[in-house]
Amino acid sequence: AISEAGVVGAVDKELFVGGKWVPAKSGKTFEVQDPSTGAALCEVADAGPEDGMAALDAAVAAQASWAAVAPRERGEILRRAYDKLLERRDELALLMTLEMGKPLAEAAGEITYAAEFFRWFAEEAVRIDGGYAVAPNGVGRFLITKQPVGPTLLITPWNFPMAMGTRKIGPAIAAGCTMVIKPAEQTPLSMLALAAILAEAGLPEGVLNVVTTSDAGGVMEPLIRDGRARKLSFTGSTAVGRKLLEQCAEKVLRTSMELGGNAPFLVFDDADLDAAVEGAMQAKMRNIGEACTAANRFYVQRGVAEEFSRRLTERMQALAMGRGTEAGVVVGPLIDEAAVRKVTELVKDATDRGARVLTGGATVDGPGHFYQATVLTDVPVDARMASEEIFGPVAPITTFDTEDEAIAKANDTEYGLVSYVFTSDVKRALRVSERLEAGMIGLNQGIVSNPAAPFGGVKQSGLGREGGSVGIDEFLETKYIAVSL
Ligand code: ADP
């Protein structure tokens, strides 16, 4: 049997640099907490700038030999790591639930999802292609090949502690890049466990280096400005992403940016309402609403608005809330007190402006960072939650009359990650999908994430795509060799 103390105890809590576990040079550590109780789980090494630089040195030193490893071998390392992730799914899920809060079933689902990135990129490693072409003048010849971009810096968020790591590490390994990865300070344990698995799977020393730190900016900025790392791949808030883009400009690092979202969820009169309610539950409540893909604004056509709101409210009221380790729980705690404060403020702002609470709308007494599953209706367009990410279990509903009005409202945001559309009319489905400003559309479905599909946003939701057949390109440079016959 696996115990909570057992899974936490099994994790190496030092920095992983050059294939070795080492303490922070300062000797410092920081605390990791269980968001369902607020209690300390353990301490992990707290890297400073000199530790970050040692990790970058290791990545730079390993780059040339790693790029020379056969693509098949790189793929097989990923495939072995995939198998190990699935073998240890239960332990890893428990570890994730303890540090992040999501219910065990969702954590186990994330381990599978995370592992699938490794399987996908194991298959992509051997499919890096090139070309041979005749120049327009008939004399020249073009040889086109792809090479690893070089040492990369990876920064991941706390909401999907494992999958946001494998989504970057998978293509980096497949492409032949070395890495320094910095997980979020709230959830370092999943990444440390992943590093150990990759080492066991045969990843050479120095290819993956993990720095855990309570000082993200202080450690990462010098690495970005150093110039030896040639790429930054970041998943997190738009505010931090903007700052990192500025830092990357100095040495012209390539970037992949998966930033915030403000997903609209459109339900038309002609929608299959069962599917719409089911999709709404998934799009809103997956990960306790703490996802950049979470439905943030529900726009429902007048003819079905009341019925949709009633059914969604019933479903939300039936959800069991509690510690993610308890059987039957589907709503866990939010990540920390700041998250609860933000959700509380956004709900108060909406109700002050006239929104009505159909269910929920309050925090929960006792330890842990809980907020009730909430449905609001008559949410005015000027409410803060219409333009800000809620990142919690709150569904704000607004009614619309025409298709044009729905699209205008949906697009009225600086974000453009994902939009959800529910309609049974094929022409409307395609028309609306084309007009929505988003990198991804959930058409009659509430979940879009899939390792085999290109994930990413437009506008201020980011740059580049992760997953799919384009995911590996983010870690490759195209080289063209000119020759004449
Ligand atoms: P969230 O609001 O979801 O915590 P953040 O953008 O703050 O989103 O965090 C995402 C990741 O970015 C985390 O790993 C965090 O430590 C890191 N991060 C935050 N600020 C900075 C920064 N100034 N420089 C580099 N990384 C940062």
Question: For residue range 177-214, what is the model confidence (pLDDT) as tens digits?
Answer: 999 999 999 999 999 999 999 999 999 999 999 999 99
Nearest Cα to 154, choosing from 102, 208, 110, 106? 208
Nearest Cα to 461, choosing from 304, 321, 259? 259
Candidate list 258, 290, 466, 474, residue with the active-site label? 258
**In terms of residues, how long is the chain?**
485
Nearest Cα to 449, choosing from 96, 164, 78, 165? 164
Tell me the CA–centroid distance for residue 247 and ligand 1, in Å.
Answer: 14
pTM over cut 0.95: yes
Tell me the CA–centroid distance for residue 233 and ligand 1, in Å.
Answer: 12
Tokens of 203: 């990843």
The mean per-residue pLDDT over the stretch 336-340 comes to: 97
DSSP 295: E
Kindly report each contact of residues 345-352 with a partner whose C-beta sits within 8 Å and lies 24 or more positions away, as own/partner: 345/384, 346/383, 346/384, 346/385, 346/388, 346/390, 346/394, 347/374, 347/376, 347/385, 347/394, 349/383, 349/384, 349/385, 350/376, 350/379, 350/380, 350/383, 350/384, 350/385, 350/396, 351/376
| Mutational test site, ligand 1, from 46, 158, 240, max ligand atoms within 8 Å of CB | 240
Q: Tell me, what's the ipTM? A: 0.99
What is the per-residue pLDDT for 475?
98
Helix (H, G, I), strand (E, B) or coil at 34: coil
Task: Encode pLDDT of 424-470 as tens digits.
Answer: 999 999 999 999 999 999 999 999 999 999 999 999 999 999 999 99
Tell me the CA–centroid distance for residue 405 and ligand 1, in Å.
Answer: 35
- Checking if the pLDDT of 1 tops 80, the result is no
- Checking if the pLDDT of 216 tops 90, the result is yes
Tell me the CA–centroid distance for residue 92 and ligand 1, in Å.
Answer: 23
> Ligand 1: which residue has its CA nearest to atom 13?
184
> Ligand 1: which residue has its CA nearest to atom 24?
217
Helix (H, G, I), strand (E, B) or coil at 39: coil
Asked whether 198 lines ligand 1 (CB < 6 A), one says: no
Asked whether 220 lines ligand 1 (CB < 6 A), one says: yes
CA 364/CA 301 separation, integer angstroms: 33
Asked whether 214 lines ligand 1 (CB < 6 A), one says: no
Asked whether 433 lines ligand 1 (CB < 6 A), one says: no
Contact at 8 Å (CB) between 151 and 230?
Answer: yes
- Told to judge if 314 belongs to the known catalytic residues of this protein, a careful annotator would answer no
Nearest Cα to 411, choosing from 292, 268, 304, 262? 262
Which atom of ligand 1 is closest in space to residue 247's alpha carbon? 24
> Ligand 1: which residue has its CA nearest to atom 22?
217
**In whole numbers, what is the pLDDT of the chain averaged over residues?**
98
Asked whether 218 lines ligand 1 (CB < 6 A), one says: no
Asked whether 219 lines ligand 1 (CB < 6 A), one says: no
Asked whether 243 lines ligand 1 (CB < 6 A), one says: yes
The mean per-residue pLDDT over the stretch 302-313 comes to: 98
Asked whether 302 lines ligand 1 (CB < 6 A), one says: no
DSSP 417: S
